[in-house]
Amino acid sequence: MIPQSWYLILAAALFGIGMFGVLTRRNMIAILLGVELMLNAVNINLVSFWRYSDVLNMSGQVFSVIVFAVTAAEVSVGLALVISAYRRRNTVIANDLDMLKF
Amino acid sequence: MTAQQIIFLIVAAFVLGSGVMVVTARNLVHAALWLVSTLFGVAVIYALLNANFIAVVQVVVYIGAIAILFIFAVMLTRRDMRDSGPQMNSNWWLGALVAALVFVGLVFLLQGWSGFTGTAADLPSGFEPISLLGEALVSPEAYVLPFEVASVLLLAALVGAVYVAFNKK
Amino acid sequence: MSFWNDPLKVAADWLEGIFTGWGMDAVLAHVLVAFLGVLLLIIILMVVDIFLVWIERKVVARFQDRLGPNRVGPFGLIQPFADIIKLIIKEDTTPGNADKVVYNLAPILSMMSVLILWAVVPLAPVMLGTDLNVGVLFLVAAGAIGTLAIIMGGWGSNNKFAMIGGFRQVAVMVSFEIPMLTMLMIPVIFSGSMNMNAIIAAQNPIPFWVLSPLGALIFLIAAIAELGRAPFDLAEGESELVSGFNIEYSGMKFGMFYAGELLHAFTFGGFWAILFFGGYRFFGLEQVSPFLAILILVIKAMLGYWVIMWVKYTMMRIRIDQMLAFNWKFLTPLAFALLLVTALMNALLSPAPTWLYALGMFLANVVTGWIALEIARSATKQERDRIEGPTKTAEAHH
């Protein structure tokens, strides 16, 4: 059997990789890709907690289903914002979108 | 080491390797395709955890919809096929440090928890997680309210995304 | 248990006995036998695929009042082998600035997305790859991989036509996935399970096409769109896009896309039969022998495939904006309405006797379809008046 620690460490590592992507990438779409990795890490945790505690209590799976819905919403609005910003400012580099900074 | 553990290690290495490629690939379409392979690996992890429904939904929602959306967005926001300039900002080492600290901190916090090295009990015979999940999602004693709120959120996101991306001419 | 009642299990036990007799570990022998089973299924599917080329060419010839292949072998049966030899000895080109890995991976993924579908197809009550409890969703998941293969092929070719073709095809596939997924829920409502075998077992007295004829029709339309066949072949519209997303592919790489499409059509014929026409069931004949059950399923799948070909070779082509408008403004709302009506009627009629339940469901479908057609008719009439109004006045000026 696999101890739960393996899943938790995998999730933590994936979360760290995603966070690195969010913090360092310049392209806004790449930042959203990093957010995807972080959300997946959270989902691995939720499902592993379901499996390793009482399997008759479905909370872990329900939470991960809701995370799916939230991710879909986040990606669609996020990418719509990126495309809208690209139309107006002709760039997708996060640092160049500094209209509020004078 | 059992067969299950070997499979887990292979899949985990695959997931983490693809994950690193997602955040380091210069070409954004490649990054999105590496994201697909990461998500596929995560689906296998769900299957290893006996969560068949979540595994298949992962493929349907993430690969079938979200990854395709990413590839579309990459293609819609590029002036040419070449990538020029650095893909990371100047203080990338600070980001790497913070990410490493988060990982170490999480593992440090978790290893103090009593259930950290716990193993899973066998599934009860004739166990149907799908019907239980369905009942949990729509029963008033369980999660019907978050479920309905999530659907309203999706509708709001649908309308919002169309409004934001719509080209007003 | 004899060979004729459960051939797969008997053969697997026999092979495992041989392997363990050689001193192999029992787990390893089990994995090896499972692997051999998968290999056997894939080989059979590829052989079927070769003959599908012949069937497709013969049927299209009959629709177009021709004879079709008839020179090589009896009835031209050897023709597909000649085609394959031609494809293999053709030059295997890769465009100069193509993204090599992505470009070469696309045809493989395209074929794979079709082959993995067969993992959940119940060929007979005892013969199926895996008894997955989410078999219906697996169908959509495999479709997602097919979508990915097309966008990879379109992008990796580094060609404008390929890219536009890929974009179009993916737009159609992603859009039509919604009515398809909704219609997949209708057999799930009737049978109370997402397991393919349970869905077939639930069609015991009445197959689901009687309970939901409209659902079967919408599923077929969405399946044809998912296949990218005419009238949904916008990705490879010859007149404007040369050949669409597969324009840069030559030799066997093109062959993989082509063979994948044919096998995909046949597979969807099979799923149509399983979900709405009782799969391997035919008046109890499937109980006689699993081999008979396979034969019944193949005949039903061929009939579904024939309907798909019939549509392909007799429909005119439709523009991409009309196609997407048809999906978003007509098919998707209709699918949602039908799902609502079916769920409501199922809850209302479940205490009723079987004949009343079937009659009520059938009538509910007919009424829903009729209302939808009336709404569509009045909407198209308004649209026609709006478009034709100015042209009439323009003609009057001349």
Q: Show residues of chain B in contact with C102, CB under 8 Å.
A: 29-30, 33
Name which of B63, B60, B42, B111 is nearest A11 in CA terms.
B42
**Residue B94 contacts by C-beta under 8 Å, 6 or more apart in sequence?**
A23
C138 shares a domain with C76: no
- Do residues A18 and B23 lie in contact, with contact meaning Cβ atoms separated by under 8 Å? yes
Task: Tell me the residue range of the domain where C243 lies.
Answer: 94-344
Q: A-contacting residues of B 55-114, CB under 8 Å?
A: 57-58, 61-62, 65-66, 69-70, 72-74, 76-77, 85-89, 91-92, 94-96, 98-100, 102-103, 106-107, 110-111
Q: Is residue C394 in a domain? A: no
Query: What pLDDT score does C398 carry?
Result: 53
Yes or no, beta carbons of A68 and B57 under 8 Å apart: yes
Measured distance CA(C85)–CA(C66) in Å, rounded: 24
Closest by Cβ to A83, choosing from B76, B98, B111:
B76
Q: Show residues of chain C in contact with B66, CB under 8 Å.
A: none
Segment (H or E) for C123: strand C122-124
Q: Tell which of C89, C110, C130 closes a domain.
A: C89
Closest by Cβ to C140, choosing from B29, B64, B130:
B64
Q: C-contacting residues of B 83-122, CB under 8 Å?
A: none
C210 shares a domain with C84: no
Checking phi first, is residue C124 left (phi over 0); if not, alpha (psi -120 to 50) or beta? Answer: beta
With CA atoms as reference, the chain B residue closest to A91 would be B77
Distances (CA, A) of A38 to A20, B33, B80, C30: 10, 17, 29, 37
Name which of C181, C180, C270 is nearest C217 in CA terms.
C180
Yes or no, beta carbons of A92 and B77 under 8 Å apart: yes
Yes or no, beta carbons of B150 and A69 under 8 Å apart: yes
Query: What pLDDT score does B72 carry?
Result: 86
DSSP annotation of C34 reads H
Q: Taking CB atoms and an 8 Å cut-off, how many pairs form between chains A and B?
A: 249
Q: Is residue A35 in a domain? A: yes
Domain count, chain A: 1
Quote helix, strand, coil % in chain A, to nearest 5: 80, 5, 20
C111 shares a domain with C31: no
**Residue C325 contacts by C-beta under 8 Å, 6 or more apart in sequence?**
none
Measured distance CA(C185)–CA(C182) in Å, rounded: 5
C271 shares a domain with C204: yes
Yes or no, beta carbons of A68 and B87 under 8 Å apart: no
- Do residues C266 and C300 lie in contact, with contact meaning Cβ atoms separated by under 8 Å? no
Q: Is residue A102 in a domain? A: no
Query: What pLDDT score does C126 carry?
Result: 76
Domain count, chain C: 2
- Which of B9, B10, B49, B58 should we substitute to test contact with A (largest number of A Cβ atoms within 10 Å)? B49
DSSP bridge partners of C275: none
Yes or no, beta carbons of B54 and A64 under 8 Å apart: yes
Q: Is residue C383 in a domain? A: no
Residues of chain A with pLDDT under 70: 101-102
Q: Which two tokens stand for residue B43?
A: 């689906």
Yes or no, beta carbons of A59 and B136 under 8 Å apart: yes
Mean pLDDT of B86-104: 83
Backbone angles phi, psi at B49, to 5 degrees: -85, 10
Q: Is residue A65 in a domain? A: yes
CATH class of the domain whose range is B1-80: mainly alpha
- CB-facing half-sphere around the CA of B150: CA atoms within 13 A: 18
- SS3 of C224-252: the string is HHHHCCCCCCHHHCHHHHCCHHHCCCCHH
Q: Is residue C357 in a domain? A: no
Mind listing the pLDDT tens digit for each residue in C37-80?
889 888 988 888 888 888 888 888 888 888 888 888 888 888 88
DSSP annotation of B63 reads I
CATH of the domain at A48: 1.10.287.3510
Mind listing the pLDDT tens digit for each residue in B24-71?
888 888 888 999 999 999 999 998 888 888 999 999 888 888 888 888
Q: Is residue A43 in a domain? A: yes
Please, where are the H alpha helices in chain C?
Answer: 7-21, 26-63, 79-89, 100-115, 135-156, 160-191, 196-202, 208-211, 213-227, 238-241, 251-276, 290-314, 320-326, 332-349, 354-397
Q: Is residue A101 in a domain? A: no
Q: C-contacting residues of B 12-31, CB under 8 Å?
A: 29-30
DSSP bridge partners of C128: C122
Q: Is residue A47 in a domain? A: yes
pLDDT at C32 over 90: no
Query: What pLDDT score does B81 carry?
Result: 46
Q: Which two tokens stand for residue C317?
A: 């082509």
In the structure, do chain C and chain A come into contact, i.e. share 3 or more CB pairs under 8 Å? no
Task: Tell me the residue range of the domain where A44 lies.
Answer: 4-93
Q: What residue spans define the domains of chain B? A: 1-80, 132-169
